Structure 1
């Protein structure tokens, strides 16, 4: 027989303070109500796609294009700076005199001589100018009467040069309507001619030489007195381009 102070097996021990006993600690099986689940039931491994390899030819062409563009920019800058410093200007031409000392014509045959004198001025302070392959022509209303070739020459800075040339026809064939028009103008007291000059010119500053270009000069409507054969009025300015 068990004593009265010994608890009965199978019953909870009464709390001496009169409070309910503490619940037993949860077991490992009941501690987690919802076990951990993988949010991605189908895991996969990420592989980074390799970058496409560049073609050696494409790389070389790109570098060559870059070098070419850089050289072009540098070269253009040098030319622009040179132009700003030197400021090249075209020469000035004026026709000082034009004369027709002798003139003979038949129906379609003409013998004549024109004498021309030009004044050429180089307005550049730093650049000298050279002229080569200098040709001149005399026209009547767009019809080429005679041509002449002049010797090459050079001009220093701020230089003024006088050049002369002659145009000759000796029993040369000229269209009948042109001869008739010239004779008609002469009978009216004056006849007008056009004089043209063309030349290759180059600018130079010390050891620097600019690109050569074609220079064209036009002296239009130059009136000659029929009786004296000399130019009427003073020197005539010419268009240079």
Structure 2
């Protein structure tokens, strides 16, 4: 009897266990990246595709905050997307726009940044932070902190390198 109950509980756990969402970097641009007056006040635009692989489990997202880094230097940050609900087996493009706060021409990192842009490849990281709750019909799980980390390269003109388009981002819970 205990064995049968254990097998039933195991099958229920397997069928109701949520799978993590998947994130893919679709597009990223910083127009006028190669200008000489620094990256301050430049628009930083990106699109990340979020995919929910769960058959019967939806996902509630809290406000998503984005940060863009060049090495360890914060280039831009701020809120990207307001809270939303992701349907099971759904895909949602998350379009964000931030304003760059650096590097400035007076910053020593600007020389490296401008040199990388002139060479045609600037390595950047996009971090997205939020909280998520999984929903199975009428039951919600507790909130989990989620961090999405996308590493990619920009061409000298400020557009995403072709090899990084639709690249899967790393997800941490």
The TM-score range, normalised by the shorter chain, is: 0.7 to 0.9
- Residue equivalent to 1:22: none
- Given candidates 155, 160, 172, the residue that maps to 1:231 is 160
Secondary structure at the counterpart of residue 159 of structure 2: coil
Query: 1:122-162 deviations in whole A, cap 9, x for unaligned?
Result: 00111100100211110001211110212112111100111
Root-mean-square deviation (CA), in Å?
A: 2.3
Is the strand fraction higher in 1 or 2? 2
Tell me, yes or no, if the aligned pair for 2:58 and 2:88 is still in contact at 8 Å.
Answer: yes
Indicate the structure whose relative CO is greater, using CA pairs within 8 Å and at least 6 residues apart.
2
Long gaps (5+) in structure 2: 1-8
Question: Taking structure 2 as the reference length, what is the TM-score of the superposition?
Answer: 0.83
Counterparts of 1:80 and 1:174, CA distance in 2: 60
The 1:136/1:80 distance shift into structure 2, 3 A limit, reads: farther
Task: Name stretches of at least 5 consecutive residues in structure 1 with no aligned partner.
Answer: 1-78
Does residue 119 of the first structure (1) align with residue 23 of the second (2)?
A: no
Please say if residues 148 and 165 of structure 1, whose CA atoms lie closer than 8 Å, have aligned partners that are also in contact.
no
Aligned position for 1:91 = 21
Q: Residue 134 of structure 1 aligns with which residue? A: 64
Query: Pick from 100, 105, 110: which aligns with 2:30?
Result: 100
| Larger radius of gyration between Structure 1 and Structure 2 | 1
* TM-score, length of structure 1 as denominator length: 0.61
After TM superposition, list the pairs within 5 Å mapping 1:51-200 onto structure 2.
83-103=13-33, 104-106=35-37, 110-149=40-79, 150-169=81-100, 176-200=107-131
Aligned residue pairs: how many? 160
User: Using a 3 Å threshold, how does the CA distance of structure 1 residues 170 and 115 change in structure 2: closer, same or farther?
Assistant: same
